[in-house]
Structure 1
Amino acid sequence: MKIKICGLKEAKNLRQVSEANPDYMGFIFYPKSKRFVGDEFSKTTLAKIPESILKTAVFVNESQENILKTVQKYDFQAVQLHGNESTEICKQLKLQNLIVIKVFAMDDCFDFETLHPYENHCDYFLFDTKTKHFGGSGKSFDWNLLQQYHLKTPFFLSGGLGIENLEAILKLKHNKLYGLDFNSKLEISPGIKNIQLINKVLDTIKNYEHI
């Protein structure tokens, strides 16, 4: 099970998170987000993150040109597209040897058939809770909906994942469940992660996988 910690922005805090050694770390380049990295975000902020951790840039309805500029500036390995991005943008980004994660907002009316056009242009899907905003709500959707997913693309589960529901999360059974995306439930404040909670989550998952 891969672990992604998303919504980081403060240099000291993200270094602490990197020491916990998650598989992915996410940085939000959407100015309306409470976890926006900010206009002064420095490349040196990311310099000490080990190469083993995949640095992921998160965008919402951003142009392909600006996405690539950001990726090149900060040397990101993965992009997470959290808006209404087209299959063509996903395709072009994938051609740049980027890992492409496409987010879909889930509710009881979600139609999984809409994912078919994205199948060959994304490495992973990410299923998050549908809200008025783009992620970071701290709310979970009905995970029973995942049983309707039968495509080949692996997916991340997101939306209100934390210590309090970790046991239930680890009991989920789906052969395409690739990773867990943690954000607001492991925070002290927006963008500042609670290192103790992160370590507890990672230790719990590791211990569960060794049972």
Structure 2
Amino acid sequence: MKTKVCGLRQPENIIKVLNVGIDYAGFIFFEGSSRYAGQPAFAKWMADNDPLFANTKRVGVFVNSGLDIILNTVHDYHLDYVQLHGNESAGYCRELKLLWSVSTLRKAIICKAFSITPDFDFSVTDEYADSCELFVFDTGGQKDHGGTGLKWDWDKLSEYKGNTPFLLSGGITPHDGRRIQLLDHPQLAGVDLNSKFESEPGIKEVDKLSHFLEDLKA
């Protein structure tokens, strides 16, 4: 099972998190977030330290951003994935994928996040299957676009019948590893961790991550 740690923004802390052995490192490019990573100095650090990410994919998280902003950020921060965490339409995702198919700029894989509420209809994900290689199912009904620390009802996963793999997100704690092991869904590819593993917004507690991964992979 893959592990993504999202909301990273401090180089020294990032190095410690990478040493734990994660699969995806997430960086938030939504200015309204307390974990915002869009500083020029940080972009330079990311671009200058490609070897650190040899075994970890870099994911940029965007919320209703312009296509030009995404293209430039992927280039400047050497991103491998873009995670669209707002109200982006399926047409928007297709247009982004098309732009990369004809461009010489650095390309990224598109991931779409969905906010899961009790009445969420998973069939809306079908429209995104031709442009997005990965989904994220996060807690819905919140205005902060993730990082709220709140869970949703994971039993609702049984309603998802699509073929696109997904990461489980939303309020996962250091004590949830064994519970997640018991989830039985063919498209569950991994987990997306954030606020419950922090000492402050954007700074992750490595001991908590290590213990969680031990439980998850036990």
Q: Output the TM-score relative to the length of structure 1.
A: 0.93
C-alpha distance in 2 between matches for 1:4 and 1:40: 24
* 1:86 positional shift: 1.8
Per-residue CA deviation, residues 2-42 of structure 1 (Å, 9 max, x unaligned), is: 00000000110011111112000000000100111143442
Secondary structure in 1 matching 2:214: helix
Aligned to 2:90: 87
Aligned to 1:42: 42
Aligned to 2:211: 200
Q: Which amino acid aligns with 1:35?
A: R
Q: How many residues align?
A: 207
C-alpha distance in 2 between matches for 1:41 and 1:166: 35
**What runs of 5+ residues in structure 2 fail to find an aligned partner?**
101-106
* 1:205 positional shift: 2.1
Aligned to 1:165: 176
C-alpha distance in 1 between matches for 2:122 and 2:182: 23
Aligned to 2:199: 188
1:100 aligns with 2:103: no
CA RMSD of aligned residues (A): 1.3
Aligned to 1:51: 54
Secondary structure in 2 matching 1:56: strand
Q: Once structures 1 and 2 are overlaid, which stretch shifts more, 44-53 or 162-171?
A: 44-53
Secondary structure in 2 matching 1:102: strand
**What runs of 5+ residues in structure 1 fail to find an aligned partner?**
none
* 1:191 positional shift: 0.3
Aligned to 2:157: 146
C-alpha distance in 1 between matches for 2:213 and 2:41: 27
Aligned to 1:25: 25
C-alpha distance in 2 between matches for 1:15 and 1:139: 27
Aligned to 1:109: 119
Which segments of structure 1 move beyond 3 Å, counting only runs of 4 or more? 92-95
Q: Output the TM-score relative to the length of structure 2.
A: 0.90
Secondary structure in 2 matching 1:175: coil
* 1:203 positional shift: 2.1
Q: Once structures 1 and 2 are overlaid, which stretch shifts more, 195-204 or 172-181?
A: 195-204
Quote the sequence identity (%): 39
C-alpha distance in 1 between matches for 2:18 and 2:52: 6
Aligned to 2:128: 118
Q: Which amino acid aligns with 1:28?
A: I
